[in-house]
């Protein structure tokens, strides 16, 4: 049975993920360190893990596997889930797969090194847009259908 795992602490598309999963009657695990209001939806379970670095990621990685879908912006978590056979989407709807996870990890490491080399480097990622949200909804619809087939 397909389960949707959401790395929920900084996820901007929690309500969208819940809406699409509910339409398909797929259980959802919203995994966080706390501070998340539980959903009244019986398909949605809020999983609160202890404080600590990567505890939520480890919880998801230990459970997600073939037939499951994972929503995360955390590239190392995505790599573990892809390796386990889960289908993975970033918040903007970009799929992370065996074909592109290596490049995503390399880019993450490169950006980390660049920031470390220049502590005065300002800026971050681009803002989350309506088109990102729309692209996510479309991608999640397709990925859930694929996972359930």
pLDDT tens for each residue of 104-124: 777 766 666 666 777 776 656
- Count CA within 13 A, CB hemisphere, residue 16: 19
Between 136 and 9, the more confident residue is 136
Q: Could you tell me the two tokens for 69?
A: 């879908």
Tell me the pTM: 0.87
Domains of the chain with bracketed CATH: 4-121+131-148 (3.40.50)
Phi and psi of 30, rounded to 5°? -90, 105
pLDDT digits (tens, 9 = 90+) for 14-66: 999 999 999 999 999 999 998 899 999 999 999 999 988 889 999 999 999 99
Distance CA 9, CA 108 (A): 19
3-class secondary-structure state, position 62: helix
């Amino acid at each position: 049975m397909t389960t949707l795992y959401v790395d929920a602490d900084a996820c901007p598309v929690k309500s969208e993920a819940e809406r699409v999963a509910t339409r398909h009657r797929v259980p959802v695990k919203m995994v966080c360190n706390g501070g998340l209001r539980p959903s009244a939806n019986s398909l949605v379970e809020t999983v609160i893990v202890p404080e600590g670095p990567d505890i939520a990621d480890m919880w998801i990685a230990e459970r997600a596997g073939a037939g499951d879908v994972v929503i995360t912006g955390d590239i190392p978590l995505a790599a573990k889930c892809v390796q386990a056979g889960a289908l993975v989407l970033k918040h903007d709807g970009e799929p992370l797969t065996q074909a592109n996870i290596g490049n995503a990890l390399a880019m993450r490491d490169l950006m980390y090194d660049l920031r470390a080399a220049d502590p005065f480097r300002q800026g971050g990622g681009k803002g989350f847009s309506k088109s990102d949200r729309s692209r996510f909804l479309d991608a999640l619809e397709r990925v859930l259908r694929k996972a359930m087939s």
